[in-house]
Structure 1
């Protein structure tokens, strides 16, 4: 049975715990912001304003999953383009559903912290998705990094975690080899 090694000092133990917390935190952030949305076909967005406080304060990362407009109901939180075909988006709650004269539905939206509804109803073509989940504070990092920088950071974190895992396995193998009795 292999002997369990103890850290030499309290400082070493604290550093080890902090290192593992950092690794776990980076892994969870990477999963929440990049891996899970990509696998599910969802898109991450950063909340930039206080219009959805206290539910979604600025700096929150929201992940919106594509959804059919007919499946959206009053009370759902959606992310939509402010103008069709434009990059700028907003994430607000649906407060009413209107039937347009052309037969299409339009969604009346309003931020939780806003006293009145948004001035223009949202057309189905503008809807990017329905809120799937949100992660506080992770939106700041999402906002600061461009798509290419996020991809590079993802590769660096995955590479770093892989190198760390290999080093841990190599150290365990070395320790096991040292602890074996020499037979003649």
Structure 2
């Protein structure tokens, strides 16, 4: 009578465990890829300084949409004779001592000077640049790398804290598959030990005695030639595994700390250089050579009307002669939308967010002259926002 052994497939628990392990491997790999990308961007932003190029953090939206706040722009030094119309120049700001101006060279000015203008500004800059004040021509843009610098300068500590927590979580995700990788290393070591033992058995197999007096590794026990092969056996103990695991954890902590220091160091390199817009009004040329500083003024009226079934139109009036860089729709210190077109007196807002079940927000409009010179409107509007997984709608609240 014969019996047949029936082998079942993997149990559901084993399948689920394999799926979880694969998810851990994918998440860990993606997290390490994101960290590598961030470090690469930071390197691109900081490394050109070694060869004399100048990385600069864009602090305002005067060059939008080509350059946005928080971008890092690397400028290449050029001779004064190589400066061409249409190029974005980095130069000392003649209107603000100790500041830099990054605007486009639009035409020649009197006496060989350079007239510049921000792409988003309605007017040319009030004071032309001397050619000797030019540091270089914008060559490379690294998007959003300087955003933490901008947040620190504007006191947006919530975003800084969220970024720090996000980086910490990202570094933690880099190690989510660490135990799997350690198991792989231990298995490889055991496989190597097994291969070595097999090799020894082949070398000292049955048949044939020692030749040429070579040490065959055999030993005699009780004065009898037992012909047993004596080979070194590697024993992997729990203690050795714990020591190996602690060593790997220390290396991982050191690598994470090094990554954070590298990012922080690159940000530190970028902090000193900041390009800002010119917050001065027109210059009146007269024997007294007087200047008039532009004063930020809040809008006197602010209204909300329905634009469609899921968007609203925020409109305002503004009569001050000083032309701002932008009007920003804000909730407290959080910017929700912005208007940068000259003469624009309304914008459409449709809400935002991953999950918001009908919260009513009180919104203001901020007049932004650049370089932190702002004024927030006294009038407010109330808007109700509903958002699920990024699909949002907004409606006016009386």
TM over 0.5: yes
Change (3 A) 1:16 1:117: same
Alpha-carbon distance in structure 2 between the residues aligned to 1:43 and 1:9: 45
The one-character-per-residue Cα deviations of 1:65-122 (angstroms, maximum 9, x if unpaired) are: 111111011100011111399431111000012361xxxx311100001111111110
Matched, 1:32 2:44: yes
Change (3 A) 1:123 1:113: same
Runs (4+) of structure 1 exceeding 6 A deviation are 171-174
Distance 1:126 1:12, change over 3 A: same
Instruction: Give the number of the structure whose residues are more often helix, by fraction.
Output: 1
Partner of 1:81: 92
> Would you say 1:109 and 2:120 are equivalent positions?
no
CA distance in 2, matches of 1:26, 1:66: 26
Distance 1:7 1:27 in 2: 30
Any idea what SS the aligned residue of 1:23 has?
A: helix
Measured in 2, the distance between the counterparts of 1:77 and 1:97 equals 14
* Pairing 1:85-96 to 2, within 5 Å after superposition: 86-96=97-107
TM-score, normalized by length of structure 2? 0.35
Aligned to 2:345: none
What SS does the corresponding residue of 2:113 show, helix, strand or coil?
A: strand
CA distance in 2, matches of 1:66, 1:38: 11
Aligned counterparts of 2:19 and 2:90: Cα–Cα separation in 1: 49
* Corresponding position of 2:7: none
Distance in structure 2 (CA, Å) of the matches to 1:54 and 1:84: 24
> For residues 66 and 7 of structure 1, do their structure 2 counterparts lie closer, same or farther at Cα, with a shift above 3 Å needed?
farther
Higher Rg: 2
Given that residues 42 and 145 in structure 2 are in contact (C-alpha distance below 8 angstroms), is that contact kept between their aligned partners in structure 1?
A: no
Q: Which runs of 5+ in 2 are unaligned?
A: 1-17, 154-170, 201-398
Distance (whole Å) between structure 2 residues aligned to residue 174 and residue 7 of structure 1:
22
Q: Is the 8 A contact 1:62 1:139 kept in 2?
A: no
Using the alignment, how far apart are the partners of 1:28 and 1:80 within structure 2?
27
Please point out which of 113, 126, 129 is paired with 1:119: 126
CA RMSD of aligned residues (A): 3.0
> Which segment drifts farther, 74-83 or 23-32?
23-32
Task: Return the TM-score normalized by structure 1.
Answer: 0.70
> Are 2:141 and 1:134 aligned?
yes
Partner of 2:54: 43
Q: 5+ unaligned residues in a row in structure 1: which ranges?
A: 1-5, 147-159
CA deviation map 1:135-159 (0-9, x unaligned): 111121355689xxxxxxxxxxxxx
Match of 2:66, SS? coil
State the shift of 1:23 in Å. Answer: 2.7
